[in-house]
């Protein structure tokens, strides 16, 4: 497994082209799952784990790796499957999600495949609230599931969803809307909860293509679209059209180009901040700290207030 992520620097060239490279793995059965390579730090045979008293049942223990203590989650058990019997017989995908280093215990790790986000599709309708699937695709004529990690982390790590900070609303134009784009139901609800605290209405879309279509409809209505929208908050990883491609499309459309766009993603790191500049977004905000999101929205509303007064 040491070479499975070799050459990752070359893969950064695909960002902004609506493409991704996906590491495929299995849990206990034959079903394949996928994870974006940019969330993966390394893949290792499961190291010795130290049990943590009182931890969530899906946390199998803590691994000490390169001087860092990293919790290891039984991913199959977290999404409702049986628990892995002996961790040392399996593999751990070391990842970084939402500024946290986490290990996912999996049965086996396969290969990396180069995909187009247009080939990553929303899950079938009717799966219900209990589903942990956020997208699907096909590789070698087999279904590959992409897990809603935002939902898993919210349930297991009890991710904070409400902001504790306060924003001074006096004089803010709360009649404007904010367009929120994210393929994760949980992530959309988290963002909406923060915006509800401010008192500003949001419109929710589940992928970049759906969001772009909505923006184009609005742009054909009388008046500037910036009169309707205070800003766009978009995830990066999404089916059909990712956040980078969405920003690029916005900047290339004269009727949309002036929109204020924030990329809000679990894909944290220096690379993603540089990509934000490259595609023309206004800000990058790593998920998910409600107070930071509230502060960024407050800053934008304050800027609009000052611009209007001037």
- Domain spans of the chain? 8-156, 177-309
Which of the four pLDDT bands, split at 50, 70 and 90, describes residue 108? Answer: very high
Q: What's the CATH code, domain 8-156? A: 2.40.50.180
Domain 177-309 has CATH 3.10.20.30: no
Select the highest-mean-pLDDT range: 37-41, 63-67, 72-76. 72-76
User: For the segment 109-137, what is each residue's pLDDT rounded down to a tens digit?
Assistant: 999 998 888 899 888 876 666 678 888 99
For residue 233, the model assigns a pLDDT of: 98
Examine the pLDDT at 201 and tell me if it is beyond 60: yes
For residue 289, the model assigns a pLDDT of: 85
For residue 39, the model assigns a pLDDT of: 81
Residues 58/74, Cβ–Cβ less than 8 Å = yes
For residue 164, the model assigns a pLDDT of: 63
Question: CA 239 to CA 224: how far, in whole Å?
Answer: 29
Question: CA 272 to CA 279: how far, in whole Å?
Answer: 10
Residue of higher predicted confidence among 290 and 274: 290
Q: Which of 255, 254, 253, 214 is nearest to 234 (CA)?
A: 214
pTM recorded for the entire structure: 0.81
């Amino acid at each position: 497994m040491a070479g499975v992520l070799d050459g990752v620097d070359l893969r950064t060239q695909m960002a902004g082209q609506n493409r991704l490279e996906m590491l495929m793995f299995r849990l206990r059965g034959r079903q394949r799952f996928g994870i974006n390579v940019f969330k993966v730090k390394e893949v290792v045979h499961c190291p010795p784990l130290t049990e943590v008293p009182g931890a969530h049942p899906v946390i199998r223990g803590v691994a000490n790796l390169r001087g860092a203590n990293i919790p290891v989650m039984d991913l199959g058990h977290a999404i409702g499957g049986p628990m892995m019997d002996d961790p040392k017989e399996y593999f751990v995908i070391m990842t970084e999600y939402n500024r946290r280093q986490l290990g996912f215990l999996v049965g086996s790790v396969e290969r990396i495949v180069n995909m187009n986000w247009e080939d990553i599709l929303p899950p079938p309708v009717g799966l219900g609230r209990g589903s942990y699937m956020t997208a699907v695709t096909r590789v070698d004529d087999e279904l590959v599931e992409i897990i809603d990690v935002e939902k898993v982390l919210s349930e297991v790590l009890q991710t904070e969803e409400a902001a504790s900070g306060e924003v001074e609303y006096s004089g803010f134009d709360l009649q404007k809307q904010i367009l929120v784009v994210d393929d994760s139901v949980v992530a959309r609800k988290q963002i909406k909860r923060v915006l509800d605290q401010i008192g500003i209405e949001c419109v929710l879309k589940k992928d970049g293509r759906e969001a772009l279509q909505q923006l184009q409809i609005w742009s054909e209505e009388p008046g500037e679209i910036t009169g309707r929208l205070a800003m766009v908050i978009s995830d990066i990883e999404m089916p059909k059209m990712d956040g980078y491609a969405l920003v690029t499309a916005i900047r290339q459309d004269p009727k949309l180009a002036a929109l204020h766009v924030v990329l809000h993603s679990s894909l944290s790191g220096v690379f993603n901040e540089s990509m934000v500049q490259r595609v023309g977004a206004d800000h990058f905000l790593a998920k998910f700290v409600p107070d930071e999101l509230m502060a960024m929205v407050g800053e934008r509303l304050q800027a609009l207030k000052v611009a209007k007064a001037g």
